[in-house]
């Protein structure tokens, strides 16, 4: 969840924006974001992260649309592959919903985002065993370090997990903040 939170915290940092402050998200906002990426020659696939309120406002707006485009809701198979938070796809863009999407404009709005490959990057750090530390576990394939601390007198065992990672915008022109009513 911390990784998801970190990704969400940068969705409002893109220079390009779509949507309107104080107004529910509508299909036109979606197209504005997608068009901005296309006009900037951002290669796909695109990914969108929206607050649940933005997502439901968008879905409500979709009910009035007609034509060949279709919202594809997440299925059990999709959730198994893409993980929690996956809400479906629209117009070829995968949509994830998270309550960690930040507020904007003094809390009046939410700042979701849409971006293409190369917009966001992350790095993980790893720990090596610390000499003299007991109960250190380095699970294979994960940057999380788990440590056990035992207090025999208090009959307590404390389990602490730490992960070392960072998230940043790598190329600002490859993303669009979607600012709409919270």
For residues 84 and 140, state if they share a domain. no
What's the confidence (pLDDT) of residue 3? 82
Domain containing 102: what range? 2-118+171-181
Average pLDDT over residues 120-138: 72
For residues 159 and 175, state if they share a domain. no
For residues 33 and 92, state if they share a domain. yes
How crowded is residue 24: how many other Cβ atoms within 10 Å of its Cβ?
Answer: 17
Asked if 4 and 85 count as a contact pair (C-beta separation under 8 A), the reply is: yes
Q: Write the CA distances from 38 to 21, 43, 62, 114, 136, integer angstroms.
A: 23, 8, 21, 12, 48
What's the confidence (pLDDT) of residue 128? 65
| pTM of the predicted model over 0.85 | no
What's the confidence (pLDDT) of residue 23? 96
Higher pLDDT, 141 or 158: 158
For residues 9 and 91, state if they share a domain. yes
The answer, yes or no, to whether residue 135 has pLDDT greater than 80, is no
For residues 80 and 137, state if they share a domain. no
What's the confidence (pLDDT) of residue 134? 63
Max mean pLDDT range (79-83, 113-117, 135-139, 146-150): 113-117
* Centroid of chain to Cα 1: 10
Q: Whole-number mean pLDDT of the chain?
A: 88
Domain harbouring 80, CATH code: 3.30.2320
What's the confidence (pLDDT) of residue 75? 81
Rounded Cα–Cα distance for residues 92 and 175 (Å): 16
For residues 113 and 141, state if they share a domain. no
Q: What is the pLDDT of residues 63-75, one digit of tens each?
A: 888 777 778 888 8
174 φ/ψ angles, rounded to the nearest 5 degrees? -100, 10
Asked if 92 and 158 count as a contact pair (C-beta separation under 8 A), the reply is: no
What's the confidence (pLDDT) of residue 125? 77
Kindly state the helix (H) or strand (E) to which residue 80 belongs, with its residue range. Answer: helix 76-82
For residues 99 and 128, state if they share a domain. no
For residues 8 and 57, state if they share a domain. yes
Q: What is the pLDDT of residues 4-47, one digit of tens each?
A: 899 999 989 999 999 999 999 999 999 999 999 999 999 989 99
For residues 41 and 68, state if they share a domain. yes
What's the confidence (pLDDT) of residue 104? 92
């Amino acid at each position: 969840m911390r990784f998801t939170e970190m990704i969400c915290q940068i969705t409002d940092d893109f220079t390009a924006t779509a949507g309107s402050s104080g107004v529910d998200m509508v299909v036109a906002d979606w197209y504005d974001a997608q068009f901005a990426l296309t006009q900037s020659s951002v290669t796909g696939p695109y990914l969108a992260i929206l607050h649940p309120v933005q997502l439901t406002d968008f879905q409500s707006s979709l009910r009035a649309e007609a034509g060949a485009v279709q919202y594809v809701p997440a299925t059990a198979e999709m959730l198994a592959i893409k993980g929690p938070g996956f809400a479906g796809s629209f117009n070829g863009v995968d949509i994830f919903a998270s309550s960690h999407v930040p507020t904007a404009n003094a809390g009046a709005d939410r700042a979701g985002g849409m971006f293409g490959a190369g917009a966001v990057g992350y790095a993980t750090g790893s720990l090596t065993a610390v000499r003299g530390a007991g109960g250190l576990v380095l699970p294979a394939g994960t940057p999380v370090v788990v440590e056990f601390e035992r207090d025999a007198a208090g009959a307590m065992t404390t389990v602490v997990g730490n992960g070392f990672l960072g998230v940043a915008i790598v190329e600002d022109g490859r993303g669009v903040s979607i600012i709409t009513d919270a």
